[in-house]
Structure 1
Amino acid sequence: MAYIDGFVLAVPTANKDKFVEHARKGDSVFMDLGAVRVFECWGDDIPDGKQTDFRRAVQAKADETVVFSWIEWPDKATRDAAMAKMDDLMKTDERMDPEKNPMPFDGKRMIYGGFAPVMTLGD
Structure 2
Amino acid sequence: MSYIDGFVLAVPTANKQKFIDHANEGDSVFIEYGATRVLECWGDDVPDGKQTDFRRAVQGKDDETIVFSWIEWPDKPTRDAGMKKMMEDPRMDPEKNPMPFDGKRMIYGGFAPIVELGSKA
TM range (shorter): over 0.9
Deviation of 1:83 (Å) = 1.4
C-alpha distance in 1, partners of 2:18/2:60?
18
* CA deviation string 1:65-87 (max 9, x = no partner): 00000000000010011112233
- 4+ runs of 1 displaced by more than 2 Å? none
Give the equivalent residue in structure 1 for 2:96. Answer: 100
Percent sequence identity over aligned pairs: 77
When the two structures are superposed, what TM-score results if normalisation uses the length of structure 2? 0.95
The one-letter amino acid paired with 1:73 is W
How large is the Cα RMSD of the aligned pairs? 0.9
The one-letter amino acid paired with 1:87 is M
2:34 pairs with 1:34:
yes
Gapped runs of 5+ residues in structure 2?
none
Q: Is the 8 A contact 2:29 2:86 kept in 1?
A: no
Give the equivalent residue in structure 1 for 2:48. Answer: 48
C-alpha distance in 2, partners of 1:87/1:30?
11
Q: How many pairs are equivalent?
A: 119
Give the equivalent residue in structure 1 for 2:5. Answer: 5
Gapped runs of 5+ residues in structure 1?
none
When the two structures are superposed, what TM-score results if normalisation uses the length of structure 1? 0.94
Give the equivalent residue in structure 2 for 1:85. Answer: 85
